[in-house]
């Protein structure tokens, strides 16, 4: 690659609005790659600008960095993500986001039923006993002392 087509970390920072420290961090975890000059300074291909844009947009949507890294690893290292790549990533991440919103909505509903209740009952409180662990213990325990141990374990874990 011709040296003049490479950009310094400061130029990438200026064009993306991402701090140089964040860019160094992205590089340290393999989200972006640089080349080094003879003076050991980082130089990035222009394609990195669009990669950084995808990383920032994904982070804004709450996508974990390891998931972003998995998506980026499907792209050739020297190519900017295309519109189709971004379409594919954003569709997949939207589904994740909807699943998480569903989980949070269920938790919020459970929490609402706790407001003004205060029972913290293993039988009635969906937040305290979300997967009905007592029922599971009852179904799998035949002796009384096992039952007591199982319930105590459920309460004190
Ligand atoms: S505290 Fe009673 S339902 Fe959660």
pLDDT band at 157 (very low <50, low <70, confident <90, very high): very low
pLDDT value, residue 32: 93
Whether ligand 1 lies within 6 angstroms of the CB of 125 is answered as: yes
Domain boundaries, the chain: 3-115, 118-157
With 60 as the cut, is the pLDDT of residue 118 above it? yes
CA of 121 to the centre of ligand 1 (A): 6
List, in sequence order, every beta strand (DSSP E) within the chain.
Answer: 6-7, 35-36, 42-45
Atom of ligand 1 nearest to the CA of 124: 3
Residues 6+ apart with CB under 8 A from 46: 5, 7, 80
Fold of the CATH domain 3-115? Multidrug-efflux Transporter Regulator; Chain: A; Domain 2 (1.10.1660)
With 80 as the cut, is the pLDDT of residue 137 above it? no
- Compare 3 and 127 and report the one with higher pLDDT: 127
7-36 pLDDT per residue, tens: 999 999 999 999 999 999 999 999 999 999
Nearest CA to ligand 1 atom 3: 125
pLDDT band at 131 (very low <50, low <70, confident <90, very high): confident
With 80 as the cut, is the pLDDT of residue 114 above it? yes
Whether ligand 1 lies within 6 angstroms of the CB of 120 is answered as: yes
> How far apart are alpha carbons 102 and 98 in whole angstroms?
6
42-98 pLDDT per residue, tens: 999 999 999 999 999 999 998 999 999 999 999 987 789 999 999 999 999 999 999
Task: Using the structure block, give the residue that is written with the tokens 């790549």.
Answer: 85
Task: Using the structure block, give the residue that is written with the tokens 């310094």.
Answer: 8
Whether ligand 1 lies within 6 angstroms of the CB of 114 is answered as: yes
- What's the sign of the alpha-carbon dihedral 138, 141, 142, 143? negative
Q: Is residue 141 classed as helix, strand or coil in its secondary structure?
A: coil
């Amino acid at each position: 690659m011709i040296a003049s087509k490479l950009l310094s970390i400061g130029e990438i920072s200026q064009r993306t609005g991402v701090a140089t420290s964040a860019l160094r961090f992205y590089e340290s975890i393999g989200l972006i790659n640089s080349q080094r000059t003879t003076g050991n300074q980082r130089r990035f291909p222009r394609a990195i600008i669009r990669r950084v844009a995808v990383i920032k947009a994904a982070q804004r949507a709450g996508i974990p960095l390891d998931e972003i890294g998995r998506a980026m690893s499907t792209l050739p290292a020297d190519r900017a993500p295309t519109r189709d790549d971004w379409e594919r990533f954003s569709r997949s991440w939207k589904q994740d986001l909807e699943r998480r919103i569903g989980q949070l909505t269920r938790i919020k509903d459970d929490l609402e039923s706790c407001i003004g209740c205060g029972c913290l009952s293993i039988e009635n409180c969906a937040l305290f006993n979300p997967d009905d662990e007592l029922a599971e213990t009852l179904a799998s325990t035949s002796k009384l002392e096992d039952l007591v141990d199982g319930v105590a374990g459920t309460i004190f874990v």
